[in-house]
Amino acid sequence: MRPRSPRREFAFSINDVARLLRTYADQRARQFGMTRAQWAVLARLEYNEGLKQSELADMLDLQPITLTRLVDRLCASGLIERRADPGDRRVKRLYLTPQARPLMDRLAELGHDMMGSVLEGFDANTIERMIVELAHAKENLKTAIAKNSPDKSSNKPAVKTAVAA
């Protein structure tokens, strides 16, 4: 049997914690009639109002069509609105509505309560250190992904042209 590798256990632990945190957030978000994904959209917009949908999709690491569905639902609920970009009429920018503000206060309380449960037993210095260390691991991953991604400029697909029938 192969000896346990701390690096491998670290990877499994991060994956397990992330999965459990997503499950817990989904459970808790339901009390407000929303999903974790909707909560994430609202939370990002709270600090970044006026984003284009494509920018928000990149921030949330979502496919644009997935975000469009989420935004459509949140618009229908009256929590966010699309506004025309004054510089480019093709672009819509996203903003929280006044109706969303009280919900954001309740979601902030919920998040604080959730993370209190998750981080119970950790002191503030340990939490700060974990944030720094995980940010370092995140940057290492971004670098590794970039190194392994094909060069987009050399792998462009051939341009398709329409052929008249």
List Cα–Cα distances, 107 to 2, 37, 95, 123, in angstroms.
Answer: 45, 13, 17, 24
> What predicted TM-score, i.e. pTM, was given to this entire model?
0.77
According to the CATH classification, is domain 34-123 in 1.10.10.10?
A: yes
Spatial separation of the C-alpha atoms in residues 93 and 54, rounded to whole Å: 10
19-72 pLDDT per residue, tens: 999 999 999 999 999 999 999 999 999 999 999 999 999 999 899 999 999 999
Task: Determine the pLDDT at residue 1.
Answer: 87
Alpha helices for 90-149 (secondary structure H): 100-118, 124-148
Q: What pLDDT does 151 receive?
A: 66
User: Is 79 in contact with 96 (CB distance < 8 Å)?
Assistant: yes
